[in-house]
Amino acid sequence: MRGLVASTLIGTASAASLSNVCTSSYVTSALPASEDNIPTGITIDTSSVTVTAWYNYSVTDATFWNNITSIDFCEVSFAYSHQNQDDRLVVEYWLPSPSNFENRFLATGGAAYTINNGSGGADMAGGVEFGAVTGYTDGGFPYWGSTNFDDVFLLGNGTANWPAIYNWGYQAIAEMTQIGKGFTSNFYDISTSTKRSTSFSNNTSSGNSSGLYTYYAGCSEGGREGMSQAQKAPELYDGIIVGAPAMRYGQQQVNHLASPIQIQTIGYYPGSCVFDTFLNATINACDALDGKTDGVVARSDLCTLQFNVSSMLGKSYSCAASSTTSLGLGYGKMKRDSSSSTTPAQNGTFNEQDIEVLEDLMTGLKDSEGRLVYFPFQFAGGFGDTTVYDSDTDSWTITTPNTNGEWVTKMLNWQNVSSLDMTGVTNDDLKGWMIEGMNKYMDSMQTTVPDLSPFLNKGGRLLHFHGEADTSVPPAGSIHYHESVREVMYPSLTFAQGNDELNEWYRLYLIPGAAHCATNDQQPNAGFPRDNFAHMIDWVENGIVPTTINATVQSGDLDGEVQQVCTWPTRPYWTDNSTMVCEQNATSISAMLYDLDAYLQPVF
């Protein structure tokens, strides 16, 4: 085993320091080989190794982590390839100094159409702060010409890049984890028979026989990637943290086209002030339904049940002219480019056509027979893909989100065309595209396997969270998958009994007021989870079940306050505007459950 070579190089634990181990010679000696249980057919390019020591590294204002200060680590990257495949994948690992290593490994994912959040990302530093070797992969995409999956999906018109598809779907992250575990074991000379009994570790508690506690954390696309690991590589992980997973990929990508097409089908195009005023009205009306008046809608279920869209009829709206600059946070190359736009002043009253559009959007995409095709977003969350102002025509219109238009042109039609013409597109067309994508990529990107028995039997723990005000990935989609797992794995149990069993190892948390993998400017007093990795460590390593999780307010009047988030299916309610209980109500639960009756096949 190469760890024996590494141990010889370093000597005793007391002599080990970051400067001792963060060298090219030591790192190369610790690279895993076939006997270290790396995937069959993989060859590591030892000449590609890069090594950099970092000291007193800090990250502040990280969404998913508390401030990270003064960490030391060794940054290592190297490439590998697959036998008989023309490819080259690069993995990067941040390894804590030996004195701070806690026998943990953390795999991370990406966002949008990138498979990682880049070197220097807070996730990498966050893992190191908890004594975890933390890794990411480039998926092999730069070898094919780009860091972005959408740019390398096609080898040519009519020819999909299937190795890239499977790397994106689940394989690259699983390999990064498997290689990383072998590398970590060698680097720190971890015994494969005893957890936390290594020469470098400062923690001597016992554990299982793998030698490492192995975790995953990611949100959005990173959340989907985490679910892919629970479904496709369950043997690798002790705990997986997923946020707002962009799973059910065939539906999720097309769903961003739903609002524009629903508006186009009605043939009336409200200005942005209509949508903004409606959002503010729902927040104001539903704020106190949770028993606490703080500008946060913690009970979007009650808002759905009690807020009547038609109550807006005849009410006035007024918005000043504004200029905005897009940060370019979309998936594809065109969306990633920053752009500016100007919106004129708007004044008026809600008319019947405004109400028709709002009601249609808030009840979800339906086919021509009125059957539900995909989930709506929650009340008090807002709208993500509606109308835009066209200064050339001085009118409001719709536009095609580049990322999702190219899902149709590139990934369904296999044509290297970046834009989609939505003229004449109908709700039924969207439904057809959803079904096509679901079936075409069921074993790679759909990521909806409901039987997680292998993950459970391995002893895995799954922490799943989703902001209730998410306008990119519907929160109802996370609830639907959780319910699918319950129904498939505990078919003979009641709703309550099945959830009790499921909560032993898989917990879902709906974050009041939170946006898509982020805090929410519209509800600034809402908290966002920064302690999920700490919760997961306690759950896996200490048996402390997270009945609630922390959510830290990061702006507004309550900046710094740590709030508690209930486990689904319980919902929060405050008494005396201050004391929260997690309650369960069948009517409220039913308001967040949907039957996708437009399909002839199950949609998990």
Beta strands in 97-157 (DSSP E): 104-108, 132-137, 154-156
Phi-psi bin for 303: left (phi > 0), alpha (psi -120 to 50), beta?
A: alpha
Tell me, yes or no, if 470 is annotated catalytic. Answer: yes
Residue 457 has a CB neighbour count (10 Å cut-off) of: 10
Catalytic annotation, pick one of 72, 470, 472, 531: 470
Report how far residue 323's alpha carbon sits from residue 423's, in angstroms, rounded to the nearest whole number.
Answer: 28
CA distances from 99 to 17, 180, 198 (A): 7, 19, 11
Could you tell me the two tokens for 528?
């966002």
Can you tell me whether residue 368 is helix, strand or coil?
coil
| Residue 138 exposure: Cα atoms within 13 Å on the Cβ side | 22
Please confirm, yes or no, whether 443 is among the known catalytic residues: no
Residue 464 known to be catalytic: no
Please state whether 59 falls in left (phi above 0), alpha (psi between -120 and 50) or beta. beta
User: Which residues 6+ apart lie within 8 Å of 541 measured at CB?
Assistant: 205, 207, 213
SS (HEC) of 553-594: ECCCCCCCCEEEEEECCCEEEEECCCEEEEECCHHHHHCCCC
CA nearest neighbour of 227 among 252, 250, 245, 244: 245
Catalytic: which of 82, 482, 516, 535? 516
Using H for helix, E for strand and C for coil, what is the string for 506-562?
A: EEEEEECCCECCECCCCCCCCEECCCHHHHHHHHHHHCCCCCEEEEEECCCCCCCCE
Q: Which of 220, 272, 444, 588 is catalytic?
A: 220
Say which residue the tokens 């002790």 belong to. Answer: 238
Provide the CA 284 distance to its chain's centre, in angstroms.
29
Catalytic residues: 220, 470, 516
